[in-house]
């Protein structure tokens, strides 16, 4: 795994440790800052195809310099419930789990693990659709195992 970090956060060792039991050959991880004026606290993307990389396998993470910690991020769960809307129609909602991140390094790790789940789906030949809940659960399981949350 190649880590290209252009931020002040030292996350290389944590990212490697978190996925040490998984195949990481050919994965490139870019850690950058969000563009100025961005309202996002962090963003992450897994690219199956990327310019300049023969087989893609690029995880790009962008963190906002202006984040104030602790910061809570909502992760999806597999728990659903129904509720009637104002028109009387039943709607299905997915429960969210708010996770508190005390440092930028922990936040970067959490989003990296989410995107790494998409990479694992890619190398297993699974399509990239409808996998957000699975990726969130994967990230949460490893964060709990590492005692980050």
pLDDT computed for residue 130 by the predictor? 74
pLDDT computed for residue 84 by the predictor? 94
Do the Cβ atoms of 22 and 120 come closer than 8 Å?
yes
- pLDDT tens across 28-81, in order? 999 999 998 888 999 999 998 888 777 778 999 999 999 999 999 999 988 899
Strand 58-63 to 28-33 pairing: parallel
Percent helix / strand / coil, the chain, rounded to 5: 30, 35, 40
- Give pTM, 2 decimals: 0.90
- pLDDT tens across 93-146, in order? 999 999 999 999 999 999 999 999 999 998 888 876 778 999 999 999 999 999
Helix (H, G, I), strand (E, B) or coil at 68: coil
pLDDT computed for residue 28 by the predictor? 93
């Amino acid at each position: 795994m190649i880590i290209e970090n252009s931020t002040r956060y030292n996350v290389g060792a944590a990212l490697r440790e978190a996925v040490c039991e998984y195949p990481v050959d050919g994965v490139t991880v870019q850690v950058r800052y969000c563009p100025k004026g961005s309202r996002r606290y962090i963003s992450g993307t897994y690219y199956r195809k990327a310019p300049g990389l023969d087989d893609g396998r690029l995880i790009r993470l962008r963190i906002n310099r202006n984040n104030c910690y602790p910061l809570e991020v909502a992760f999806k769960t597999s728990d659903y419930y129904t509720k009637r809307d104002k028109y009387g129609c039943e709607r299905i909602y997915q429960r969210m789990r708010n996770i508190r991140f005390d440092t930028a390094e922990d936040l970067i790790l959490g989003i990296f693990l989410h995107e790494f789940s998409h990479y694992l789906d890619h190398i297993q030949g699974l399509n990239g659709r409808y996998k957000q809940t699975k990726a969130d659960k994967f990230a949460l399981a490893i964060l709990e195992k590492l005692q980050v949350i």
